[in-house]
Structure 1
Amino acid sequence: MAHGNNAKSLPADLSAPAFVDIWRTRALIAGVAFLVVAVILGFLSGDHWNHFLRGWLHGFVTCFGFCFGGMLLLMTQYLSGGKWGYIIQRPLEAMTRTWPLVFLMFLPVGIFGASMGRLYIWAKYADWSTALKNHLITNEQAHAIRWKALMLNTKAFWIATIVCFTIFALYIHLLNKWSLQRDADAGREGNVTYWRVKFENLSGFGVLLYSGLLFLLVIYWVMSLDPTWYSTVYGFQFLVGQAYQVLPLAILTLMALSKAEPIKSTFRLIEQHDMGKLCFAFVMLNMYLAFGAFLIIWSGNSPEEIPWYLDRIRGGWGVVATLDVIFHWLLPFTLLLSSDLKRIQSRLAVVCYIMIFARIWDVFWLIEPNFRDAARNLHLSVGILEYIAVPGALIAFWMAAYFAELRKRPVIATNDPHLAEILEQEYVHA
């Protein structure tokens, strides 16, 4: 599989090391502990479990980003090629195969949040005229609920979600199935070009389709929490945000797996450096989209748009927004400027942890101020702790599923044109 005097060879066993099972056990224990704390907080908060459900939405959106962001990055890798993507193919595939668990996480959001109207005011006050007369909603909210009713209704909410999950599940099935078939097809002449074209054809349309459907889903799940808000860049921010959180997780996985074979033989310093540079690119793109949207709206000073930001920078939220800028952009941008940092695993790992934490923090900042009791009022109560406990539980359970999937298949694809180059003597760009 490699040529030259300095070529390495793959070990006989290409499965993930046994210590991944220990990771899975620890994740399950953490998930149970967080869930117990979340339930206790639900009884103590006295807000009819509202914050528990909001925290559940937060955790679901985050886990959805890990799972289907993995699918997005996997398809992007098939389109772009390159050794950086070859080494993370199997971790990304493992992320995608957690989609049944992610769909189960959606069910409380759909049942309690939409069908029972516990999260979305357009579902709770579908009879907007009566709600307006009773001063339960504002004139702006009544106007939005009325004219967006064709889209913002419970039936459309469920149909859109189920259709999108079905399409995504089909893509995940094909990406994982063809990956194993390609490895088994090593002896067929011309198979490299055949599989490359096949994956490119699937992924090219898949990236476009996923982007469009993701825009629809984030409108339903997050943006419609405030039916008066609209933004043409909102979907792009979530699209880039998913890559922003998935790539660091893939890098951390490879670093941890590189302590043993087979990743020890294939995860070279140059690929680590390249993935660090790609993280830097996503940080910059994220900065551009978020700050560009803020700058345009703030400079326009429209009374229909400015309140969304005022809800997130006044009443204590300015602290959260400032920390979001520091964690999300300033720290990773500054640290990833260093070429040496991207070559040192321990330091790059710190940046990866910061990026994942920053994405979780950002989702909290996007979700909680949509609610009347939280807008321009960061109320530090027992209930707000649900944003730690509930997402912590869901993310821990998702990580356990991810580790389980990682153990089910070889973590190295053996029939890939980049494998021979990966096994060559390592070199690093200056």
Structure 2
Amino acid sequence: MGRSVLSHFLNLSNPSPRFTYSLSSGVIPSKLLKKSGSIDQHCLLNRQIRTDFRCCCSISVSQPAGQESSSSPLRKRIVSGVQPTGTIHLGNYLGAIKNWIPLQNTYETFFFIVDLHAITLPYETQQLFKATRDTAAIYLACGVDSSKASVFVQSHVRAHAELMWLLSSATPIGWLNKMIQFKEKSRKAGDENVGVGLLTYPVLMASDILLYQSDFVPVGEDQKQHLELTRELAERVNYLYGGRKWKKLGGQGGAIFKVPEPLIPPEGARVMSLTDGRSKMSKSASSDQSRINLLDPKDVIANKIKRCKTDSFPGLEFDNPERPECNNLLTIYQLMSGRTKEEVAQECQGMNWGVFKRILTDALIDHLHPIQVRYEEIMSDSAYLDRLLAEGATKAADIADATLNNVYQAMGFLRR
């Protein structure tokens, strides 16, 4: 979710590969069932068919694509969030938060602080408390408008945790064992120290998305696998419990969950480290020198850019695979300055690193200064921030609880 678009996203005229049969009725043709033999084989068939899953979505801010959302006749729904771990950095901003701003004008948007995801690895409790408020304030400082988007804390809507447990019962363990990020993080932490939450957090991510019957989910390249699991899990639950089975229990029948589509921005989604142009800018990197934090003071930004890794090639250029740092720094400058790639390439082609680092520093400071000022204003009024988060949670809970009640009913639970 983690882990975001704009009018320059790819076009919905080429939707992601989907099954040829409809899931709206919750029923799979008997011809397919004869071939698959069981629900587990059916889901395996899903995974085989969907191995070449790609995001082919391009959303125009001026005109929503696709059919209307059931909750609003004109607006599709989008959900996204950022973990309150570490400090929000330039990669989080350019890869996610900045891309949310135009969405709120066209879509029904839910932007939450995913604090339940932040406890899958060892953490400081006081730091979680502070970082959750900081992250909410940064959302607002970056331009998220609470009058247009619902901003809330994930743990303030209890349906997230409840739905995760229900979905866990329908999630094959083999699906989770294949998650790349689990393998990488568990290898670093050591199997003896890894909590179950690190394995099952993709199910929580699915809960985050499916609770709100989301049409689109902004994701980075490294989150596509998790979103595909969400899509497959939605289809599995729709098959197991939806359709006529749900209707016999007094429900509306049909699909329980909407199957969401991914949205991946073509630029800025993977801002790279200042110390290694082949590694993603990350909160977990040991050196703070590797990233520009959104709240870094001017002198810190200047020092980090002055010391960042460069190369010895003459001139500056985009897209040379032998110059990952050059491409990364030019991309950051392009996004900070608001210029086109062509304009930046022409401006910087004859520059040396010393001159370029000065203009990059100025562009970063100029872009981030208004965000930092607004952040301080928001943090100085704790009552305002608390009220805004409470209002966002109330609106989100109304939608999430309706979905959760449908799932309980479809799965055969006795009504409260």
The structure with higher relative contact order (CA 8 Å, sep 6+) is 1
Point out the structure with the larger helix share. 1
Tell me the TM-score normalised to structure 2 length. 0.27
Tell me the TM-score normalised to structure 1 length. 0.26
